[in-house]
Structure 1
Amino acid sequence: MAECPLGMNGTSSCPVNGQEGEETLNYHSYLKLDKLLNSQVMQSGIKSQAVHDEHLFIITHQAYELWFKQVLHEIDSVREMFMLPMLDESKTLLILNRLQRVTLILKLLVDQIDILETMTPLDFLEFRLQLSTSSGFQSLQFRLLENKLGVLESSRVKYNQQHYAKVFNREDQLKQVKDSVEQDSLFQLVERWLERTPGLNFKSFNFWELYKRSVDRWLQDIILSPAEETNDPKIKEEMMAEYKKQKDSFDSVLDEDKYKSSMARGDRRLSHAAFKGAILISLYHDQPRFNQPSKLLSLLMDIDSLLTKWRYNHVMMVQRMIGSKVGTGGSSGYQYLRSTVSDRYKVFLDLFNTSTFLIPRAYIPPLTRSLKRQLSILCHDHIPGESSEEDNDDDEKVEGDTANGNGAIGAKVKFEI
């Protein structure tokens, strides 16, 4: 059979699925390359002779926006899976895969700044005035990404003493911003997921009480007992001061009232129940049931770290390019951007701080055999926290076994993480 003739732009005039008049989809038309490759309009070329490096500037920022769109696509899909009343454990690997994809994209965005820095300050100055009031601060997609991850409105540094949304004047843009604020962020969804961590409310394994005892034993073994045994008054004083410092640090999370006070001050965001879930996962991450949740928490911290690194590299590039000049959008430029490189923009800061409260493996309370059995299955038909008579016999052998009566989560539900 003879090949179909090619029409304009390399498209085929052969029928598609037997329908006359329709062109065959090809590489060029599928990717809309006519629109994409003709979207680099150099403002310097409109008014005078085009400046060579403006082309790089446009391409780089358009690439950023395309990658932001993909990151939003991934984050939205993960949020949808977390929005279910009970997370389907068969989706955990998919969630990990998509969050891993986000981290790889962010690494690429960090490295992309190196390409932009091949442009010198003088090169940039040749076309900077052509940008008029255009500014990276006006990136709608980046603001949506921050909101959907969970950056707090109260944590944001004001731009020209006004709310960031003031730079958007189209109704559809303002609606997207409003929706991104009002819908559950990834932080909120992960928080609720952590509050359901299996093992937190198991009747015969009171994790938090056992953890408290282990912390006390560890601090006594490594600091208090050696301090009491030393005959050197100066060393004893130093060790007792260290013991008090460590004890106060642990008490700030072990005591729920103190923890809630720190939340009220804005020092912590995760609920106390969610924080306990994160600690449990971190301590028992080598258990099969907690391996994937541990990786998930690690990826969330990676996303925070990479966004912080991107902000910092961006700040350094701006300082290199314009020094202390006012930004094109009217901001203080470097000074404004520098203020955004801080913990206030980290969404999952509480996860970073869990390492403060980890204890050596030798002091971690061993899981009961019945709890291990419960963790090894996806579903069961009795209420979590209730165990058979045989299980109770096994559990009694575990030191410090204390029932708290808070084990019931709900009958016939997925016992999931």
Structure 2
Amino acid sequence: MQDRWNAFMPYPDADVGFAATGPLSGLRLAVKDLFDVAGYPTAAGNAALLAASGIKTSTAPLVQTLVDAGARFIGKTNTDELAYSLIGGNIHFGMPINPRDPNLIPGGSSSGSAVAVAAGLADIGLGTDTSGSVRLPAAVNGLIGWRPTHGSLDNRGLRPLAPSFDVPGVMTSSLETMASVMSAVGMPAANDRPSSILIPENAFEAIDKDAADKMIACLRSAAIPVRGARTICSFSLDELALAFITILQREAWESNRQLFESSPQVFAPDIAARLLSGSRLNEEEVREARRIREHFSTEIDRLFREDVVIALPTLAMTPPRRDTSPESFAAFRSACIKILCLSGLSGCPQLAFPIANCAGNVSLSFFGARSVDKTLVNVVKRLL
């Protein structure tokens, strides 16, 4: 396979068997290099971890489930270092190239898996999503991106970043393929449609007005009642983002503390800085962040008892160019986390999808109650 997009890690091929028949038969599977696959190392985007990895002798159960359903493994894909970014860059292995617009970032951290699908090299891109690492690159590359209900998919054989937020996730170019993947991994059956779609005004006010108008017009075509609300909870988006980042940084530090304290020089400067931020948080800050998460989750559960799905813009601003400044990357990341953090804090699923016939990166998301992952697909079918 010729990979001019730098989507895949340059590992020698190893034989990974797959079922001759099954619901995913004929589909090509690209796997983020955070999952163990027998016959391959696992680098997690870091050269020191690659050197220490060795060749794995077992395959992550979720990957095994997909190949047992007939998907054909075609390689491990590039990722931001430690999966700790939303940009798609990596000083060790390079930034994948966005097939839709080579001047823009590919988004991360599941950058290689997104690019592989967008470039037509794979049908299923398996990634991970902690703070948006499936949903954001899906949006940037014009794909469908699924962040599942937290804990619904097997995460053994997957290197953690922030375990209370980490989930495996999937990107595809078609809704039919996404529905097939959900069935293959055992997601429960869904209702055909919710009672209504809720539009939180504060989330849509954060984005470009023209894009927001297009999204809302699209939502009104779904033949499902649409209603607005000023917000979906008692906390502001800024408060929720701060709580999310606080917990993320503390857990990321705990996941990587041993390697950092023994070899701090093996990390990119921006990754090292974020890890150090996590190490410096005091316990009161972390307790307050967890309190906010608990209250937010309770409020969201109460809202979802009304049988609604929440519509959200996937991106808070236009993706930056790949050659822009670190400050621009940071501003993009910070803006997007204010919306992307809602699914992580609540543990609820989110499905991102591009709006047809809209130029640029116009991506909507549906955010729903735990275990209604398939319902989100049904709602999107009414729009596409």
TM-score, L = length of structure 2 = 0.23
Q: Which has the higher strand share?
A: 2
> Bigger relative contact order, structure 1 or 2, given CA contacts below 8 A and separation 6+?
1
Q: Which has the higher helix share?
A: 1
TM-score, L = length of structure 1 = 0.22
